[in-house]
Amino acid sequence: MGKKDKEETTVAVVETPAKDEGTSESQTKTAKKDRKKKKDKKDDKDKKDKSSKKEKKDDGNKDVKGKLRKPVVRSPYGVWIGNLPYTVNKDDIRKFFEPCGGAITRVNLPKKDNKISGFAYVDFDTPEPVAVALT
């Protein structure tokens, strides 16, 4: 048989510089520092935004409409009262529990759609009035 035809292959050799010829090493370091500073500023801003959101969420001294309200003072000595008439008010509840003794620290009369729900929470300063109220 005959000789096989050899194909010719052309290979191009291209030289690529190790560094970009337009920038020096100090310029590259400066650019990296600038990028890091921008990233750090953005991170700091994000942290401040998150912390301010947390502060707003934790603010328990405002009601639904954003008005300031008195801080709630809760006591571990409380009673729940049910089956109240819808016409009762906080003063009525305070008068009812006066004979129990002790100081009433909180009367919570929950409302739904601006109407009394028919129950209340009353907190006392000591456990003795709670015992009397439950008898």
Instruction: Say what the pTM is.
Output: 0.48
HSE, side-chain direction, 13 A CA sphere, residue 54: 6
Task: Give the model confidence (pLDDT) of 57-74 as tens digits.
Answer: 444 555 566 677 677 668
pLDDT at 78: 93
Name the 3-class secondary structure at 40: helix
pLDDT at 63: 59
Task: Give the model confidence (pLDDT) of 79-131 as tens digits.
Answer: 999 999 999 999 999 999 999 999 999 999 999 998 999 999 999 999 999 99
